Chains A and B, each alone.
Chain A
Amino acid sequence: MPSFNFTLLTILGCGIATWISRVLPFVLLKKFDLPKPVIDYLSFVPIVIMSALWFISLFNQHLGSLPQVNYENLLASVPTVISAIIFKNLLVVVIIGIVSLGIIRLIA
């Protein structure tokens, strides 16, 4: 176990590193305008990042070989997607998602 001071220093370093990636664009874009092609490019960030975060949860990674399907998450995604289409309500979707995975784990 590393010393308390070393751990604290590491946490501070990680905190600053994270903070920079969060804040830097806000500081820079106060002064500059983004060119149109960049705005076009960034307009895809929301759907790509949201779908990437979902899709990555559907697999278990084994570097060097094909990813393995995470059947629990894949199965739980089905009622979750259906509830999104039916209810269009985020709270309902999240609750159905949690309950679905809970039931799948109970059965499996």
Chain B
Amino acid sequence: MDEKLDIHTAIKDTLPTVFGYIGIGIAFGIVGKAAGFNPLIVLLMSVLIYAGSAQFITVSMLASHSPILSIVFSTFLVNSRMLLMSMTLAPYFKKESLSKNILIGTLLTDESFALGMNKLNYSGNKLSLRWFNTANGISYLTWIISSLAGALLGNFITNPEKLGLDFAIVAMFIGLLYLQVISDKSTPKLLQIIVIAFTFVLIYIGLIFVPSNLLILLVTLLGCEFGVIIKHAFF
């Protein structure tokens, strides 16, 4: 990654993340198809909902005939961590128009957020609309095409995990986390490591009590609070 914020650089920066969308997108298409939804419905889900784990939940709740309000509410809860991410990102686009802000937010994902936060460390704490829209656009198209491909090829690919593609997203977060820790100059390394270790403990304990989809939000809320407390007490 470097300081440039043009389209060409955005494509280069986003490339490593597309494997994650491809892997999970194909898996989603196959699962949707297997649950009895036709490729059009699978496509509409990816176009209109555009949220990995929430789409899996929607599929399984629809298949089990859950009431519409509980499906929508579950989706909202699972995705409410997006509130935290867009709240973190929004200040960087404050001077842009409202509609441009809405466009950035509409296509924001875990991955493009993480990528953007990393970019800040190289670009002198700046982001451009051009860079972010390109990253978001590539992600959106890759997700739509992959899930449609999964739904269409569902009968032929029985075991997408065999390839290890489902690990692409995890590997991406490992890479981005490491790059974030070594390049973020504003937070002391030791503090970051303490917060990460605390997050691990929270995840381990939380998995006993809280469904994993909601756990991410809960852990993020607690982990950030912990970080603030430790920072003010010791740093």
Contact = CB atoms under 8 A, between A and B. Distances in A.
Interface of A: 1-2, 4, 6-27, 29-30, 34, 37, 39-57, 59, 61, 63-67, 73, 76-77, 80-81, 84-85, 88, 90-91, 93-105
Q: Which of B68, B161, B175, B225 has the most CB of A within 10 A?
A: B175
Given A47-B192, A64-B208, A100 B164 contact: yes
Contact of B58 (A11, A53, A91, A95): A11
Contacts of A88: 178-179, 182
Size bracket of the B interface: 35 or more
A91 B72 CA distance: 35
Given A2-B65, A43-B187, A102-B163, A25 B105 contact: yes
Contact of A81 (B86, B90, B94, B178): B178
Contacts of A45: 84-85, 88, 220, 224
B143 to A, nearest CB: 13
Contact of B83 (A4, A11, A24, A81): A24
A39 B59 CA distance: 36
Contacts, number: 288
Interface in B155-206: 161-182, 184, 186-187, 192, 195-196, 199-200, 202-204
Interface of B: 1, 15-17, 19-20, 23, 36-37, 41, 44-45, 48-51, 54, 58, 62-63, 65, 68, 71-73, 75-76, 79-91, 93-94, 98, 101-102, 104-108, 110, 113-114, 117, 161-182, 184, 186-187, 192, 195-196, 199-200, 202-204, 207-209, 211-212, 215-216, 219-220, 223-225, 227-228, 231
